[in-house]
Structure 1
Amino acid sequence: MENSYRSEKQEQASDHVAPEIIPEPQTRDHVALEIIPEHDVLVSSIKEKMENVAVSVCIFQVPDKLLDGNKKKYTPENVSIGPLHRREPTKVGEDDKWRYSYALLNRNPNLEASLSICVKALRELEHKARRCYEGEIGLSSDEFVQLLLVDGCFIIELFLKYAYKSLRSRRDPIFSTVGMLFGMRNDLALLLENQIPFFVVQRLFQVVPLPKKCNESLSELAARFCNRIIPGDDEHVIQDKFNREGYHLLDLIRHSILPTYPKLPPKEDTPPKNMDCAKILKRAGIKFKSARSPSFLDIKFSRGVFKIPSLEVHGYTETLLRNLVALEQRQIDDTVQHVTSYAFLMGCLISSEKDVKFLRRREILTHDEKKDNEVFEVFKNLCKEISLKDFYYVRIFEEVGEYKRKSWHEKRRKLKHTHLKTSTSVVVFVVAILLLLLTFVGACFSILTFALHHV
């Protein structure tokens, strides 16, 4: 299939056609014409070689060991985006995506011109976009470009309709069906396999005809759409973080929740591999407090106090954490596994439903108290079958262990000191009693002797 894709590209590059006319994207009020010469075959070849080296895979297939028993947490039910799940039935079908694409592109009176501009822009990105996916994509050049076009336009129009209610139709099932929008948000933003490269959507956003009322960037629209499923942040902070580069929506979310401080190196050459649960640490004198922080990953430990930002556990928290863990298992440009480390640490703190109840009462976990067991199951199974290569909280594990050892030594010292004092007091008391008894006995003998001598 890769060879057929290359032959199609070569035919497109070698065929002589008239110079294309495309509008400059700088203005939306009029169309400025620019004559673009045909691409040189050598230029295209060099470009592809550079992309082969520079572009990393960023949309992975979830490993089978993570899918086992949890396939629903990685598979779209509401809408399919990208090539990996394109043949699977979802609530929003291909016709719905085509209608959204038509609504977006038809804002230009010349629909064919809009399509031509978009197709040309996507053909230039096609090879780079293919490189983002793990494994071979069984689509021809035209099929792949069409998929990017329809899915990309659908995402943009969905963001616009979400931001501007006046663009919605009353009968639009996405906005009129209870729970549909939340499910759509889950599938679009949280599922690793259900993504298209964000640079594809960005390029389309530059050339499609947008509503006049739209004065926001694509990153701002995406942040607004994803805000409600991102834990631990307010909307303004999220928008600022979404303006940074990201490979796709899930990667943008990951960057928006990263800790605000760098990893602290371990003190020992062999870092600890485990930590006691919350209830045992509490008995050792360690306190737990809920902390306010821009990121729920900003966990700190100091002077016997765990400060852990609150995490709201809702219907899609497990899906978010699972897919971020799956992404970090495969990501190659960022060695620190922040979310995986968080899942591992919380898995240590939570060994039973009692630990969940304790952390909920400390407002570290926020959820309905009737769901303590469900939350326990989430953290119990989150880190099964994963490899933790670079543990972010290694210093915290060391400091907790060190504090606990000192705490136990101090208690033993105090206990021995108390025991010694108690033992000494008992001896003194016994001696005093004996002295009193001896004195009493001596007095009795003296009285008896005196009495006998005077009888």
Structure 2
Amino acid sequence: MMVVDGAFLLELMLRSRFPKFRSTKVADPIFHRTRILVDVCRDILLIENQLPWFVLDKLYRKLVLPHPPPDEKEVNLERLAHDFFKAYLVDNNNIGNRIPATTTDGYLFLDKDMKDHLAALVRWSFYSPREIISSPISDGDLNITVELIPPSVTALHEAGVRFEKLIPTSCGLEIKFDRGSLKIPYLDYRTGTHLLNLMVFEENSDFPPGGNYVSQYMFFMGCMIRTSKDVNILIESGIISNTLGSNRDLVALFDRISKMGWPHAYFSLCKQLNDYRTSSPWHKWAATLKRDYLDTPWKTASTIAAVILLILTIMQTKAWAWIAERQGFVARVCPMGLSEHNFLGDTRNGWKEAMVAGFDDGRLGCGIDFGREEMEER
């Protein structure tokens, strides 16, 4: 049975790599139906369907192609399997360029953690973020604090964090945070099912401490997705596909995942997110303003009109206060000759009348009395 399964896998990968091996007389039942091919890839990677690597390797070494392509000698089993899953499993061609070094006999050297089966090869090639994990916290320095767990999506959103879809450049588990923008790879039914399957593989494998990268990634996502509101934010940001199921189902799924470990590889990122959330209230205020008052054109126009009205009201209040202050000053200087009408209408005449009235009374209206003779002399 293993020989039959192995022959099927080799034929499938060879037809994918070399289209000339596909049937031209009748429609190919697999390659002419993309959806079926994607489902076949998913079934091949299920843990219960794994075929020991040595079976595939021995079959491939005995394989003799009837009409070998020109580059057939350059294609070994590891490269054949890698290119097959990269074509039908990964959306971005930049992912999965981590290929082991080629030995002198043309076969690739396999690490210990990828000698088991095809799922191990796929995990190693596409989901082993060794080169993107920067200074993770060691187990010796590990203290279980809130800083080692990422805030929820809603909490980050209220703190001003922007969520964007990330196009990974080397690994499907990349998560980047830069200047208030958290970028996460797209997650749909296909990738979600595949990642869950790899989680099961990691749980049943003997990896070194902190080497279960897929489990850590899913745990990180599980900590951020806690309510249906978190799911809605990620859907609106284009990070999660709404074909994964209802929001409640997703919350329940990630809730179970978040109880399966700690995101050792993402501790530095968790600390950055927590520091950003608590660093300054300006981020939260700006996010609240944008979310509650500037999210639609009508709200934006209303907000701008309200701000302009507030500014005009303040200017009017300041103007009347200045006028009242000037009136009080003139009244103190010339209380008998300058009325409100004169001050507002004809300031020059008001001053003239006030001065005449003041001189006639023998005083200047500012608390200084003069005798008429002395005033005339002056």
Fold shared by both chains (TM-score > 0.5): yes
CA-CA distance at 1:447 after TM superposition: 6.6
Gapped regions of structure 2 (runs ≥ 5)? 102-107, 286-317, 339-356, 362-378
- Deviations 1:113-162, CA, capped at 9 Å, x for gaps: xxxxxxxxxxxxxxxxxxxxxxxxxxxxxxxxxx3322222322332233
Cα deviation, residue 410, structure 1:
8.4
Of 99, 103, 118, which residue of structure 2 is paired with 1:240? 99
Counterpart pick for 1:188 among 40, 44, 61: 44
Structure-1 separation of matches of 2:55 and 2:160: 53
Equivalent pairs: percent with the same residue? 25
1:328–1:406 CA distance, 2 compared to 1 (3 A): same
TM-score, structure 1 length as denominator?
0.51
SS of 2:144's equivalent in the other structure is coil
- Offset of residue 200 of structure 1: 2.2
Distance 2:17 2:153 in 1: 42
Match of 2:89 in 1: 230
Please, which runs of 5 or more residues in structure 1 have no aligned partner?
Answer: 1-146, 413-427
Q: Quick one: structure 1 residues 273 and 219, their matched pair in 2 at CA, closer, same or farther if it must change by over 3 Å?
A: same
Match of 1:330 in 2: 204
Which residue of 2 is the match for residue 73 of structure 1?
none
Secondary structure of 2:182 counterpart: strand
* 2:219 corresponds to which of 330, 344, 351: 344
Deviation string, structure 1 residues 211-240 (Cα, Å, up to 9, x no partner):
441512111221232123433542794483
Indicate the SS of the match to 2:7: helix
| 1:404 equivalent in alignment to 2:260 | no
TM-fit CA distance, 1:320: 0.3
* SS class of match (2:256): coil
What residue in structure 2 maps to residue 110 of structure 1? none
1:295 matched to 2:171? yes
Matched letter for residue 36 of structure 2: M
Q: Which of 330-339 and 167-176 deviates more?
A: 167-176
- Residue pair 2:95, 2:168 contacting (<8 A) in 1 also: no
- Count how many residue pairs are aligned between Structure 1 and Structure 2: 286
Whether the 8 Å CA contact 1:349–1:355 is kept in 2: the answer is no
Distance in 2 (alpha carbons) for counterparts of 1:322 and 1:280: 26
Scaled by the length of structure 2, what TM-score is found?
0.60
Give the deviation of 1:390 after TM superposition: 4.7
Secondary structure in 2 matching 1:385: helix
State whether structure 2 residue 3 is matched by structure 1 residue 149: yes
The Cα of 1:326 is off from its aligned counterpart by 1.7
| Alpha-carbon shift at residue 346 of structure 1 (Å) | 3.1
Q: Quick one: which of 136, 139, 156 aligns to 1:281? A: 156
The DSSP-based 3-state class of the residue aligned with 2:177 is strand
Residue 383 of structure 1 aligns with an amino acid whose one-letter code is F
d(CA) in 2 for partners of 1:437, 1:344: 72
* Within-5 A mapping of 1:258-407: 258-259=128-129, 260-266=131-137, 269-271=143-145, 272=147, 274-278=149-153, 280-289=155-164, 290=166, 292-308=168-184, 310-311=185-186, 313=188, 315-336=189-210, 337-350=212-225, 351=227, 352=229, 353-360=231-238, 364=239, 371=242, 374=245, 376=247, 379-386=250-257, 387-407=260-280
1:81-230 equivalences in 2 (<5 Å): 147-169=1-23, 170=26, 173-175=29-31, 179-189=35-45, 191-213=46-68, 215=72, 216-230=75-89
- What do you get for the CA RMSD once the two structures are aligned? 4.2
> Deviations 1:268-309 (Å, cap 9, x if unpaired)?
73343543344542442334444551213222224433244x
Aligned-partner Cα distance in 1 for 2:325–2:34:
89
